[in-house]
Amino acid sequence: MTNLNALITQNYRLTADDRNYTLLRRHIVDPAKAPGYKPQDGAAPPPIREEWRDDGYYPLNARGLAAAVERAVICDVNSGGNYETIAELVAAYQREVERVRTLISDALNAGN
């Protein structure tokens, strides 16, 4: 079993087992906003918490790794801004891809 638990972006993380990469997405959960929540008099509201939920499964090979990272980058860029033109969106995507490439390159070079 692999001990992979790598943060790709602030909102996406990659784990792996013997067969798959699993892309996880960060969710912020506020129990006080749940439809069935009923506040109790004098009690503090339940704490807001962070959860990582499965977002997709990818084969444990180079293509699977590339696909998982690409999905994380695209989804994060798409949700991270208010782009008025396709050029702004593509520029943001290119910046994030370059950031991830640098992280991977640095990690690979650190092993040498």
Distance (Å, whole) CA 111 – CA 109: 5
Q: Report the run of H or E that residue 42 belongs to, with start and end.
A: none
Q: What is the pLDDT of residues 44-71, one digit of tens each?
A: 989 999 999 999 999 998 889 889 998 9
Grade residue 108 by pLDDT with cuts at 50, 70 and 90. low
Which of the pair, 84 or 108, is modelled with greater confidence? 84
Sheet bearing 20-29, strands edge to edge? 5-7, 12-16, 20-29, 49-59
Q: How far apart are the first and last CA of the chain?
A: 24
Could you list the residue range(s) of the whole structural domain that residue 95 is in? 5-110
Q: What pLDDT score does 72 carry?
A: 93
pTM: 0.77
Packing angle of the helix pair 62-79, 86-110 (nearest 10 deg): 140
Q: What pLDDT score does 29 carry?
A: 94
Tokens of 22: 């699993």
Average pLDDT along the chain: 88
Mean pLDDT on 67-86: 88
Distance (Å, whole) CA 9 – CA 100: 8
Into how many domains does the chain fold? 1
Q: What pLDDT score does 99 carry?
A: 83
Distance (Å, whole) CA 83 – CA 87: 9
46: CB partners within 8 A, 6+ apart: 31, 32, 37
